[in-house]
């Protein structure tokens, strides 16, 4: 229980965004839960971190949240909760790359 609370908090929910049962609830638009894209993103991130695997592949996962919230999530989830794990983060925004250990740029079909 404490682990779930810690990880959910790291995903930066707003006060009423995430009830404890929402972490276990299907997050689909057709389910009757009217999550915004930002709220769905936070739940998806919390679920991914909760899986406790060694490799995470995340594509544009922070694009639905504003830069301030995204930075907080990045620091709390990726730099703390996933410390020591391999996190491959595909990002279209450069705002998070300064926090990364290694950066690979793909431009015009070339890796640099």
75 exposure class (CB count in 10 Å sphere: 0-12, 13-18, 19+):
middle
Q: b/e for 18-49, b at 16 or more Cβ within 10 A?
A: beeebbeeebeeeeeeebeebbbbbbebbebb
User: What would the pLDDT profile of 33-56 be if each residue is shown by its tens digit?
Assistant: 677 788 888 888 888 888 889 999
Write down the pLDDT at residue 1.
58
The pTM for the full model equals 0.64
Predicted confidence band of residue 18 (pLDDT cuts 50, 70, 90)? very low
The rounded distance, in Å, linking the Cα atoms of 28 and 101 is 33
Token code pair at residue 54:
């060694």
The yes-or-no verdict on residue 58 having pLDDT over 70 is yes
pLDDT tens digit sequence for 76-100: 888 888 888 998 888 877 777 777 8
The rounded distance, in Å, linking the Cα atoms of 108 and 97 is 19
The residue extents of the domains of the chain are: 2-111
Class of domain 2-111: alpha beta
Burial of residue 78 (number of CB atoms within 10 Å: 0-12, 13-18, 19+): buried
Q: Does the structure show a pLDDT above 90 at 66?
A: no
């Amino acid at each position: 229980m404490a682990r779930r609370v810690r990880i959910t908090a790291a995903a930066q929910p707003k006060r009423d965004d995430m009830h404890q049962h929402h972490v276990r609830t299907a997050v689909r638009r057709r389910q009757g839960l009217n999550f915004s894209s930002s709220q769905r993103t936070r739940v998806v991130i919390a679920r991914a971190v909760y899986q406790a695997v060694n490799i995470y592949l995340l594509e544009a996962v922070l694009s639905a949240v504003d830069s301030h919230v995204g930075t907080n999530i990045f620091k709390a989830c990726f730099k703390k909760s996933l410390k020591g794990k391999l996190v491959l983060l595909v990002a279209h925004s450069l705002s998070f790359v300064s926090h990364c250990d290694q950066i690979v740029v793909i431009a015009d079909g070339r890796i640099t």
